[in-house]
Structure 1
Amino acid sequence: MLFLDVRGFTPLSERLEPEEVVDFLNMMFNLITERRWPTTARSTNLSATQR
């Protein structure tokens, strides 16, 4: 389980379309897991339909 506090997320998410919020969160998740667990990270991207 991964918890992440993104500074400025609420104002950012209010300006973006829902699909863009999902893309942003997927990008953040991938960046962090690739750096923290480079050989064991499993990418679990959410699609806009999984909200």
Structure 2
Amino acid sequence: MRTFELSRDMTTMTGKFYPTGHILLMLPDAGAADAAGRPWWTPGWTTTTSC
């Protein structure tokens, strides 16, 4: 799991957080994060499947 790093392209001109194209989830631990992300990497799932 990567550490979240806020970059300039994730904020508006006034500095407010605006994560275009990202999903921000706050989960209790790495195990929960792994379980939440697992369906995205299983066979049959594509980026268009989730939209």
* The two structures share one fold, judged by TM-score above 0.5: no
TM-score by length of 1: 0.32
Q: Which has the higher helix share?
A: 1
TM-score by length of 2: 0.32
Higher relative contact order (CA 8 A, sep 6+): 1
